[in-house]
Structure 1
């Protein structure tokens, strides 16, 4: 039986991917930087120090790979994994970056993509747009404390994608060679501005949730106060600026083509995650 290593297995996409792969009969090993509690299903791996990298990839035939959040040198973290995967004879790599990563060949994520493309490995690259799940994680404090989505993006729209769709696409690609050597930009079916998102969340929760456009300086201060490193805060401000400029509005049919169904709608996401925003 093939052995599939999932890096980022405890994250929003990775945890769902592990569930889907196991349900499909894959032997899945979760890479974790935390202490290993079950050696049969987990392996220690620290991408920052590369501790455990060689051991983690021994006997692996398929690999799901992403960069841990909070770091801007993604190529320095990902390229060694690709090299060790090749050395160990990994048969297929699915790399998750982000929509727009291929717009600049000098961007760290694009450097990692290019390294994989030139590696000789069978691969897919998936580039999801902004996650719907940001509203129940990164942006949740403003919703819970003030009933507001606070972001500096004006009236710009985003084709938000549910992380469960990203995981489903990754599972599909890890289970077939039909689409090898291709990359896919993953989006929801429609683009919405944050006023529309707030209205959908309000409808799902029975509470009044609104969107408030805020100055970039306020957003930067909030991210730093939340503990984000300065370099990653700068990165976040850049990609929020891209959102405001309209680069997140584009939609693709990749999810429908790969899964044979429409992407999960924001209305469905809001219904499924309703408990995250409903005040006790």
Structure 2
């Protein structure tokens, strides 16, 4: 078994992929944007999807790749294709790609376009298609919860089968460790679908203060998200994904996490307890 390159190695999923692989004694190279700004306990290499000159050093001696799309890269043909071309040219044995729940029915999102490119290049793959990350609430939406005691998400009463990124990282590691996961696609969710009113109630209980779900309109959400400092391209992707959620595409519950990990997925309440300091 050769070395695994983990892109996004300091991110919400990548750090748990690294952690799980190291526990299993696998040789890992962590791809990071800035080497000096990480505390990973493995080999690191500077890497940037937009800099071709970083590809060779990242892929040298690697036979498998964990791939996650940086959310700010909204044009896969321009931003991601050059790296996938290099991966294909080097005969990489497996790419485990973090895609999106329901992507097989949605050809317009960036994740689907990346899946299609991986298939086009005949790269052996495992597609992980998770629902919305619980960690979105402890990162992207953390400030609004901490400072304004609100959840500002435009999905109405729609339910979401949130998944903890710790579970995604654990699943990714298993997909590298066992060949039975090669050329498979998995839909990854938690074990229940809940709406944002339930999310707010759970957070209120854990934090011992009232958290309110605001439920803005889509255009209002996009405008305020941009005004709060999010790049327009990323705000557009967020708005599109929340529109799909409002249409009911995020409520699907599957058992792929439980089947692969042989345990129940982490619950939303446990996630809230584990991350409560973020919102205090």
Question: TM > 0.5 between the two?
Answer: yes
Deviation of the 1:106 alpha carbon = 4.8
8 Å CA contact 2:143–2:279 kept in 1: the answer is no
1:132 is aligned to 134
Partner Cα distance (2:228, 2:58) in 1: 32
1:172 is aligned to 174
1:259 is aligned to 261
Residue ranges of structure 2 left out of the alignment (5+ in a row)? none
8 Å CA contact 1:198–1:211 kept in 2: the answer is yes
Q: CA RMSD in A?
A: 1.9
How does the TM-score come out when normalised to structure 1?
A: 0.93
8 Å CA contact 1:117–1:181 kept in 2: the answer is no
8 Å CA contact 1:132–1:160 kept in 2: the answer is yes
2:272 is aligned to 270
Deviation of the 1:247 alpha carbon = 0.8
1:53-76 deviations in whole A, cap 9, x for unaligned? 122111101110111111211243
Deviation of the 1:25 alpha carbon = 0.5
Deviation of the 1:233 alpha carbon = 1.7
How does the TM-score come out when normalised to structure 2?
A: 0.93
1:190 is aligned to 192
Query: Residue 64 of structure 1: SS of its match in structure 2?
Result: strand
1:25 is aligned to 25
When residues 180 and 48 of structure 1 are mapped into structure 2, their CA distance, relative to the original with a 3 A threshold, is same
How many residue pairs get aligned? The number is 278
When residues 251 and 224 of structure 1 are mapped into structure 2, their CA distance, relative to the original with a 3 A threshold, is same
1:54 is aligned to 56
Partner Cα distance (2:77, 2:274) in 1: 35
Residues 200-239 of structure 1: pairs in structure 2 closer than 5 A: 200-239=202-241
Residues 66-145 of structure 1: pairs in structure 2 closer than 5 A: 66-145=68-147
Q: Which moved more, 1:79-88 or 1:136-145?
A: 79-88
Partner Cα distance (1:136, 1:105) in 2: 29
- Give the alignment partner of residue 161 of structure 2, picking from 159, 162, 183: 159
Deviation of the 1:134 alpha carbon = 1.1
